[in-house]
Structure 1
């Protein structure tokens, strides 16, 4: 991850770690910023917002803006260096349409996942000019369909559990972190953890384990897979961990559960 350097040559698409102090500058090209990790404070055209994962802002050319990370904060920056007249006409229209929108925006879950994949590619080879341009073009081509108004979540707001459940269901076979779930609802990890426990009555980790075991029960009932395969399908690192959690939540071992069904 590159540390922010105000004197460094900017790239078409780059992943940066923001400084923990407020920086201020302006540039002669438009820019789109998307939060990846942590929280960052941005002030654009006098409007101040905290940007978290899945949130972003548009900085028009020539606009003075301030920014800084609150703790560790990583962002994706898309810089549009070319004169708009020299850009492909369709892409030109898409970029201009975005620049006419509100400064601050939120991404829906599908494009958040796409951004995460593209960021991994950029991090693997940050100096690949063609890769960075392709990532920028891909995001711009889709961004106008996958943004919504920026929403400030305050204490007392209720979490969208349906959205969280959908994310868990899509990723049960792999590792799911609290940061992943927090990003789904545009919250910092600690704030999300507190809201989740208050609303659901258990920690996010306990909830994920419950969902894994519920899916395991369904798969056992279907009778298509052996227990070792089911353990992998529901995301447990080994069968022993799967068995221990199954016994704790269901009251019997997976093998006894299957035997009782028959």
Structure 2
């Protein structure tokens, strides 16, 4: 498999810009960051990321506390891999792009980042984690069924995404991006499907989570964050 490498770190709040002679995949694990690729800027939230081909200059900055995972793909490929293997993975970097991980891949990225932080000096592990994430994201992006799901809302998958992020601020544009819809399209289709606005739905989910944790006897400081975010959901 392709000899990529990976790392987990935080971006500084001071903006920086550079380019490099290798492809790079970036996934936001926690917090928010600003990225600009060839003049196309976007604020990335938890579970979002970008594809950076080697020829594209880019700028970035952390927005408060943040944590990202990066996977670097060298050019040309290192020894020990075939041209065919390299060609398959390198197609992911044909052009710069922003993306939203599905809930399953968010869990995968979180698990891989945990291993990298546990064993930061293990180069074999870094390559294995990088290869795994590259391949999984390549399948998601190339999967036409995933890209076409905006034709109908999959509430079950949305619920999975919401459950993963209830302890954070969930933005409506994140949910819209997850369904490959504009915010206005998502708002209209969601209300037609559920009978409530996305904001109302998120409020209900947070209240249900808080009530469940309270019934389980969980101390308030462990679940109060769910309620606090009720007033902050856009």
TM-score (norm 2): 0.65
The C-alpha deviation readout for 1:176-205, integer Å capped at 9, x for no partner, is 742297798489xxxxxxxx8832383643
d(CA) in 2 for partners of 1:90 and 1:237? 54
Is 1:120 paired with 2:114?
A: yes
Is 1:22 paired with 2:37?
A: no
Q: Is the 8 A contact 2:23 2:75 kept in 1?
A: no
Which sections of structure 2, spanning at least 5 residues, go unmatched?
Answer: 144-152, 178-196, 220-234
Gap change, CA 1:29 and 1:138, over 3 Å in 2: same
- 1:202 alignment partner in structure 2: 203
Higher RCO, Cα 8 Å, sep 6+: 2
Q: CA deviation at 1:81?
A: 2.7
d(CA) in 2 for partners of 1:71 and 1:160? 32
Q: CA deviation at 1:95?
A: 2.2
- 2:97 alignment partner in structure 1: 103
Q: Which of the two has higher C-alpha Rg?
A: 1
Q: CA deviation at 1:92?
A: 0.9
Is 1:133 paired with 2:130?
A: no
TM-score (norm 1): 0.59
- 2:184 alignment partner in structure 1: none
Q: Is the 8 A contact 2:25 2:49 kept in 1?
A: yes
Residue from 156, 168, 176 that aligns with 1:179: 168
Gap change, CA 1:145 and 1:201, over 3 Å in 2: closer
Which sections of structure 1, spanning at least 5 residues, go unmatched?
Answer: 1-10, 150-158, 188-195, 213-235, 243-262
Gap change, CA 1:88 and 1:137, over 3 Å in 2: farther
